[in-house]
Amino acid sequence: MKIVTAVLLSLVLLSAQSPRDQTFNLKNGRLWLSLPDDETRSVFLMGQFDGWNLLRNTEKEIKTAVLVVMGHGGPLTMVELAAMVTKAYAAPENLSLPIGWVVMASLAVQRGEVSGDVAFAALRKFLTGLTSRANGRVIGSEMNPIDLILGFGG
């Protein structure tokens, strides 16, 4: 019953979001922090991972890089991952980062490939590069931070 309530609350919050809750049409830290607790946020993450699994199961070719950045370095629950993401968004300078990016960077931190300070500074610089373009247009493949995150490990 607790999860059903959390899902319903999440749906209400998602429908009431403002444009500030998104970066390039991806949910960001402002939306994340509007969710009431890490248990509810873990339900959001389950949906995100389910979407990634659906993509993986329906695409003919999945890049190995995606599988690497979504891996973790040991047992990890969704509530623990939610706590890691919440910790990243405790720094106001990270609020504009899309949730999926923060999840990937948090997993790199958990794997011991990089410190949180370095990972999130790199993502902010990456985002600034995208948003500072003269024409303001960014195509989907340019918004992919996977190569940046993979660079943390080696």
pLDDT tens figures, 65-119: 666 667 777 788 999 999 999 999 999 999 999 999 999 999 999 989 999 999 9
Number of domains forming the structure of the chain:
1
Domain residues for the domain of 106 are 2-152
Rounded to two decimals, the pTM is: 0.80
pLDDT at 55 (0 to 100): 75
pLDDT at 141 (0 to 100): 65
Task: Kindly report, residue by residue over 109-143, the tens digit of the pLDDT.
Answer: 998 999 999 999 999 999 998 887 756 666 666 77
Nearest residue to 151 via CA among 124, 123, 131: 123
What are phi and psi for residue 28, nearest 5 degrees?
Answer: -125, -165
Helices and strands counted in the chain (H then E): 8, 2
Q: Which residues neighbour 28 within 8 Å (Cβ) at sequence distance 6 or greater?
A: 21, 22, 95, 96, 97, 98, 99
CA of 106: how far to CAs of 14, 22, 96, in Å?
Answer: 23, 19, 15
What are phi and psi for residue 98, nearest 5 degrees?
Answer: -60, 145
Q: CA-to-CA distance for 96 and 110, rounded, in angstroms?
A: 21
Q: CA-to-CA distance for 145 and 142, rounded, in angstroms?
A: 8
